[in-house]
Amino acid sequence: MHAYLSIYLPTYLHTYIFSYLHIYIHTYTYIHIHIQAGVRLNATTASATEELIGFGPVAGAGHLAMSFSQTADLREAATNLFAMLHQADAVTSGTGRTIAIAPIPDDGIGEAINDRLRRAAAPRD
């Protein structure tokens, strides 16, 4: 026997809730980040040996000069998170270079983004 729950949601709310849940589920369940290079969080500038992934007013720097979102949009940042980390890791792996990440606000989806970034930056055994 199956039970179903039907709830009417306005289209804009339905889209927001399910987009957020999709990001939340993928962030916490399906996607695992394994970064070879070192990761420095909350960086506002990059050293000569870093690939900086920017966010909002902090521009990206390094070979790729990427930004999770130039407009400080957390949904865009969540969408770009894994692909950009993997691109930066590919450019820095085996070179002695590290990855620097611009500060991300710790509210809403930003909380999940920062959780994943802290896990990626954690030392490995």
pLDDT of residue 61: 93
Q: Give the pLDDT confidence of 4-63 residue by residue, as tens digits.
A: 443 444 444 444 444 444 444 444 444 455 666 788 999 999 999 999 999 999 999 998
Mean pLDDT (whole number) for 78-89: 90
Residue-wise burial string across 53-83, b where 16 or more C-beta atoms lie within 10 A, e elsewhere: bbbbebbbbbebebbbbeebebeebbbbbbe
Please give the Cα distance from 64 to 80 (Å, whole number).
14
Mean pLDDT (whole number) for 100-104: 95
Domain range 11-121, its CATH number among 2.60.120, 3.30.410, 3.40.390, 3.40.50: 3.40.50
Q: In the structure, what pLDDT confidence band is assigned to residue 68 with cuts at 50, 70 and 90?
A: very high
Write out the DSSP string of the chain. ----------HHHHHHHHHHHHHHHIIIII-----SS-EE-S-SS--TTEEEEBBTTB--BSSS--BS-TT--HHHHHHHHHHHHHHHHHHHTTTT-EEEE-----STHHHHHHHHHHHHHS---
pLDDT of residue 13: 43
Residue with tokens 């692909």: 83
